[in-house]
């Protein structure tokens, strides 16, 4: 099993990069995304980034991990 030791992201664009770099959406990533969605009003660019992540998971380009 290939594990990546990633530094916690400081913003959404960094998180987006980490997810695409690893090819996986981990529970920690999902928790961070939930926190962003619940606490912040998102810009159009941030909303688009999240939509791209969802689309990539649906297409099978990113894997959800446990």
pLDDT of residue 1: 45
pLDDT of residue 39: 80
Helix (H) or strand (E) holding 66: none
Could you list the pLDDT tens digit for every one of the 66 residues in the chain? 444 545 666 788 888 999 999 999 999 999 988 888 888 788 888 889 999 999 999 999 999 998
Q: Which residues contact 21 (CB under 8 A, 6 or more apart)?
A: none
pLDDT of residue 26: 92
Helix (H) or strand (E) holding 64: strand 63-64
């Amino acid at each position: 099993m290939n594990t990546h030791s990633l530094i916690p992201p400081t913003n959404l664009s960094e998180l987006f990069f980490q997810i695409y770099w690893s090819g996986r959406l981990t529970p920690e990533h999902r928790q961070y995304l939930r926190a962003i969605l619940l606490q912040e009003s998102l810009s159009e660019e941030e909303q688009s980034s999240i939509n791209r992540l969802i689309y990539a998971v649906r297409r099978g380009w990113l894997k959800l991990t446990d």
